[in-house]
């Protein structure tokens, strides 16, 4: 996830104010200096300017802390902790008992998750096994497989690929693989990592992975690990505003903002709630749910542009960085996704979540939706500079949106969202179909000028890569479940075949650098954990002849495709 980040400070040098005579004297003095002396002077000035700039950038956000009159009370700040705990105890009585493992499903799971029932599902299982074999051989226990160099990549040191794959393996009915993955978690998953991890990524991949494995299998080892992890992540929220910092050390439990800036990404701080809520409901400890829900409640109170949010938020002040980009792509995307999914997860009882989501979709229609020239494909663009400039650009990440819109409609939201979903899905399909590899690039640009240019879509060289991302397949799965239109299965199959053709290598699957050139796709030597967690899982579910294999009336998928139970 790479967003844009612009900072600038204007330095105004006052030109007036000196009496005429003094100006002349200064000028004479200046002319008398040697070249060397002048250079020294220039250097001193540059250093001064640079230092001032450097410190003023760092302080902009601290300054807003002081001037911020809004009273923000985080559940974890020291003064409030006592009141908070009391409050918790009162509330505990109102809330139903924690849900143990999903035992009902566990009993049925040998029937439900009995393995592939269609030819296409069989092919997906073969793909999984191929990837798993490479991972086991060259990267076992590490975060990611590097299939070409036959090595591994460690990001957090949490065996990400194993934890992220647990439920995929379970759903595919692969008993042997599940046992080996489960035993690795039980015996080797070491959460006491003395290194910084990203709160958001660790939450959606590891916490989400452990919780869904727990719900599907009923094995309490996963819940124990999830609670341990949740307690290590919690210190991220100990900020003045209650908005978490992006990074936390799992061993020292110290948390801080990213090195490059004092701000957190809006989507990151708003994409923790499904997991923390489920952790509370599963463990009976409501601190997790309250702490994460507070973030949503706080964001709810902030001023937005027609329900749309800037992509950066300051964890000190709790305010948006007002001139940052507005997008349904990187750093904005899952804020919107989690509004509607939190509403579903909590039994459609929390109205502000639904209302904020509905307002955001209207805001999107008004500000971000355009059509391409000449063929009129609908897309969702971006607003730069706090809303000043429209950019006809869409991240592949945005292709989660048709599925989420359809999910909302399925749960009773306005049916006209479905028209948006159909059209946006078609555009996302075009981002694949118009490439000679039949694979979409990371970012697509759209032509909106009435010129004689023939192409609706174009791709810039730095954006031409494909990381094996899932979002479009995810949307196809929702749309197929909800409409039963088998065209969506066929589209998924076309893409699966392209993955087989262009990204499969002898030890797994790899991200590629160029979807525009079938002769040389520039393999990048990386298989991220989301390929097995999401892309493969959604393909398997999409090709099922049992549309309720994962029932969207009983489960809500987190942002990493981990199913968590809906509370009744
Ligand atoms: C299924 O979806 C495709 C692609 O959008 C569309 O062309 C077709 O008409 C749909 N079929 C039905 C039966 O709705």
Q: What is the 3-state secondary structure (H, E, C) of 157-203?
A: CCCHHHHHHHHHHHHCCCHHHHHHHHHHHHHHCCCCCCCEEEHHHHH
Taking the alpha carbons of 513, 517, 518, 520 in that order, is the dihedral positive or negative? negative
Give the whole-angstrom CA distance, residue 432 versus residue 493.
Answer: 12
Pair 446, 456: CB distance under 8 Å: yes
**What per-residue confidence (pLDDT) applies to 45?**
72
Angle at 235 between CA 231 and CA 237, to 5 degrees: 115
Q: Is the CB of 487 under 6 A from ligand 1?
A: yes
pLDDT band at 85 (very low <50, low <70, confident <90, very high): very low
Lowest mean pLDDT among 81-85, 221-225, 369-373, 546-550: 81-85
In this prediction, residues 443-453 reach a mean pLDDT of 89
Q: pLDDT tens digit string along 245-266?
A: 999 999 999 998 877 788 999 9
Q: Residue-wise over 457-471: b if at least 16 C-beta within 10 A, else e?
A: bebeeebbbbbbbbb
Q: Is the CB of 220 under 6 A from ligand 1?
A: no
**If we measure between CA atoms, which residue out of 271, 214, 224, 221 comes closest to residue 244?**
271
The three-class DSSP label of residue 557 is strand
The pair of structure tokens assigned to 506 is 């002898």
Is pLDDT above 80 for 105? Answer: no
Detail the residues annotated as belonging to a binding site for Ca(2+).
559
**What per-residue confidence (pLDDT) applies to 43?**
74
Is pLDDT above 70 for 160? Answer: yes
Is pLDDT above 90 for 150? Answer: yes
Whose CA is closest to atom 2 on ligand 1?
487
Whose CA is closest to atom 4 on ligand 1?
487
Give the whole-angstrom CA distance, residue 449 versus residue 458.
Answer: 13
In the chain, what are the domains? 61-565 (1.50.10.10)
Phi, psi of 326 (to 5 degrees): -110, 125
| Distance between Cα 251 and ligand 1 center (Å) | 52
Q: Which one is catalytic: 61, 201, 356, 534?
A: 201
Catalytic site includes residue 278: no
Angle at 509 between CA 110 and CA 428, to 5 degrees: 85
Is pLDDT above 70 for 15? Answer: no
**422 Cα nearest atom in ligand 1:** 5
| Distance between Cα 426 and ligand 1 center (Å) | 10
Lowest mean pLDDT among 23-32, 168-177, 279-288, 432-441: 23-32
Q: What is the mean pLDDT of the chain?
A: 87
Detail the residues annotated as belonging to a binding site.
559
Strands 369-371 and 151-153: unpaired
**What per-residue confidence (pLDDT) applies to 110?**
59
**What per-residue confidence (pLDDT) applies to 179?**
96
Give the whole-angstrom CA distance, residue 229 versus residue 220.
Answer: 14
Catalytic site includes residue 201: yes
Q: pLDDT tens digit string along 301-329?
A: 999 999 999 999 999 999 999 899 999 99
| Distance between Cα 330 and ligand 1 center (Å) | 30
**What per-residue confidence (pLDDT) applies to 25?**
65
Determine the residue of 433, 479, 487, 492 to mutate for testing ligand 1's pocket, defined as the one with the most ligand atoms within 8 A of the Cβ atom: 487
Q: Which one is catalytic: 143, 167, 333, 474?
A: 333
Lowest mean pLDDT among 68-72, 117-121, 232-236, 384-388: 68-72
Catalytic site includes residue 471: yes
**491 Cα nearest atom in ligand 1:** 4
Q: Length of the chain in residues, anyone?
A: 568
Q: Which one is catalytic: 395, 471, 474, 534?
A: 471
**485 Cα nearest atom in ligand 1:** 1
Lowest mean pLDDT among 25-39, 374-388, 474-488: 25-39
In this prediction, residues 413-435 reach a mean pLDDT of 98
**What per-residue confidence (pLDDT) applies to 548?**
86
Catalytic site includes residue 442: yes
Number of H helices, E strands in the chain: 21, 18
The pair of structure tokens assigned to 107 is 């009993």
The three-class DSSP label of residue 479 is helix
Determine the residue of 422, 485, 489, 491 to mutate for testing ligand 1's pocket, defined as the one with the most ligand atoms within 8 A of the Cβ atom: 485
Is pLDDT above 60 for 7? Answer: no
Residues in CB range of 260: below 8 A, 6 or more apart:
5
Whose CA is closest to atom 12 on ligand 1?
485
Q: Is the CB of 485 under 6 A from ligand 1?
A: yes
**What per-residue confidence (pLDDT) applies to 8?**
31
Phi, psi of 312 (to 5 degrees): -125, 145
| Distance between Cα 491 and ligand 1 center (Å) | 11
Whose CA is closest to atom 7 on ligand 1?
487
pLDDT band at 12 (very low <50, low <70, confident <90, very high): very low
Q: Which one is catalytic: 382, 442, 456, 560?
A: 442
In this prediction, residues 408-429 reach a mean pLDDT of 98
Give the whole-angstrom CA distance, residue 135 versus residue 509.
Answer: 10
Q: CB-based burial of residue 10 (10 Å sphere; 0-12 exposed, 13-18 middle, 19+ buried)?
A: exposed
Whose CA is closest to atom 11 on ligand 1?
485
Q: CB-based burial of residue 197 (10 Å sphere; 0-12 exposed, 13-18 middle, 19+ buried)?
A: buried
Give the whole-angstrom CA distance, residue 376 versus residue 367.
Answer: 17
**What per-residue confidence (pLDDT) applies to 18?**
41
Phi-psi sector, 99: left (phi>0), alpha (psi -120 to 50), beta: beta
pLDDT band at 80 (very low <50, low <70, confident <90, very high): low
Is pLDDT above 80 for 336? Answer: yes
Q: What is the DSSP string of 141-161?
A: TSSEEETTTTEEE-SSSS-HH
**What per-residue confidence (pLDDT) applies to 27?**
62
Is pLDDT above 60 for 10? Answer: no
pLDDT band at 361 (very low <50, low <70, confident <90, very high): very high
Q: Which residues pair with 256 in a beta bridge?
A: 247
pLDDT band at 506 (very low <50, low <70, confident <90, very high): very high
| Distance between Cα 549 and ligand 1 center (Å) | 23
Give the whole-angstrom CA distance, residue 105 versus residue 212.
Answer: 12
Give the whole-angstrom CA distance, residue 17 versus residue 124.
Answer: 75
In this prediction, residues 180-191 reach a mean pLDDT of 98
Is pLDDT above 80 for 346? Answer: yes
The pair of structure tokens assigned to 392 is 């006809």
| Distance between Cα 68 and ligand 1 center (Å) | 52
pLDDT band at 232 (very low <50, low <70, confident <90, very high): very high
| Distance between Cα 565 and ligand 1 center (Å) | 31
| Distance between Cα 484 and ligand 1 center (Å) | 10
**What per-residue confidence (pLDDT) applies to 547?**
78
Is pLDDT above 80 for 344? Answer: yes
What is the maximum alpha-carbon separation in the chain? 95
Residues in CB range of 186: below 8 A, 6 or more apart:
221
The pair of structure tokens assigned to 388 is 């000043």
Is pLDDT above 70 for 83? Answer: no
Lowest mean pLDDT among 8-22, 193-207, 223-237, 452-466: 8-22
């Amino acid at each position: 996830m790479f967003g844009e980040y612009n900072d600038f400070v204007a330095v105004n040098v006052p030109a007036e104010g000196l009496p005429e005579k003094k100006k002349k004297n200064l000028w004479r003095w200046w002319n008398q200096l040697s070249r060397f002396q002048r250079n020294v002077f220039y250097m001193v000035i540059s250093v001064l300017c640079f230092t001032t700039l450097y410190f003023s950038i760092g302080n902009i956000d601290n300054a807003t802390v002081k001037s911020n009159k809004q009273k923000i009370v985080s559940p974890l700040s020291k003064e409030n902790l006592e009141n908070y705990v009391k409050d918790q105890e009162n509330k505990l009585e109102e809330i139903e008992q924690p849900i143990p493992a999903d035992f009902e499903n566990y009993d049925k799971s040998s029937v439900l998750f009995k393995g592939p029932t269609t030819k296409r599902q069989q092919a997906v299982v073969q793909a999984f096994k191929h990837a798993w074999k490479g991972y086991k051989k060259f990267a076992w226990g590490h975060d990611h497989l590097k299939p070409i160099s036959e090595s591994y990549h460690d990001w957090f040191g949490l065996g990400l690929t194993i934890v992220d794959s647990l439920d995929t393996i379970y759903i595919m009915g692969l008993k042997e693989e599940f046992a080996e993955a489960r035993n690795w978690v039980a015996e080797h998953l070491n959460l006491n990592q003395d290194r910084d991890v990203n709160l958001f990524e660790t939450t959606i991949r590891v916490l989400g992975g452990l919780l869904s494995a727990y719900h599907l299998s009923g094995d309490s080892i996963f819940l124990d690990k999830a609670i341990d992890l949740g307690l290590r992540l919690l210190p991220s929220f100990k900020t003045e505003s209650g908005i978490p910092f992006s990074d936390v050390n799992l061993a020292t439990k110290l948390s801080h903002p990213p090195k490059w800036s004092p701000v957190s990404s809006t989507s990151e701080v708003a994409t923790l709630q499904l997991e923390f809520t489920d952790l509370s409901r599963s463990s009976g400890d409501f601190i997790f749910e309250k702490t994460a829900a507070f973030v949503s409640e706080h964001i709810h109170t902030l001023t937005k542009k027609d329900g749309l949010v800037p992509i950066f938020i300051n964890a000190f002040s709790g305010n948006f960085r007002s001139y940052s980009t507005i997008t349904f792509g990187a750093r904005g995307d899952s804020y919107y996704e989690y509004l509607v999914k939190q509403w579903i997860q909590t039994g459609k009882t929390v109205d502000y979540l639904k209302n904020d989501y509905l307002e955001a979709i209207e805001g999107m229609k008004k500000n971000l939706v355009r059509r391409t020239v000449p063929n009129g494909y609908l897309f969702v663009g971006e607003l730069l500079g706090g809303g000043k400039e429209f950019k006809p650009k869409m991240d592949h990440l945005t292709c989660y949106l048709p599925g989420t819109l359809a999910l909302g409609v399925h749960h009773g939201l306005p049916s006209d969202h479905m028209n948006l979903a159909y059209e946006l899905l078609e555009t996302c399909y075009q981002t694949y179909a118009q490439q000679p590899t039949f694979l979409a690039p990371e970012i697509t640009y759209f032509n909106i000028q009435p010129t004689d240019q023939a192409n609706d879509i174009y791709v810039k060289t730095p954006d031409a890569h494909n990381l094996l991302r899932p979002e479009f397949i995810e949307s196809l799965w929702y749309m197929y479940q909800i409409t039963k239109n088998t065209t969506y299965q066929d589209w998924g199959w076309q893409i699966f075949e392209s993955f087989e053709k262009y990204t499969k290598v002898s030890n797994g699957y790899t991200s590629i650098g160029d979807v525009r050139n079938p002769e040389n796709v520039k393999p990048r030597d990386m298989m991220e954990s989301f390929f097995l967690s999401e892309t493969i899982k959604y393909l398997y579910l999409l090709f099922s002849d049992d549309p309720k294999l994962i029932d969207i009336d009983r489960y809500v998928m987190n942002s990493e495709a981990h199913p968590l139970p809906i509370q009744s």
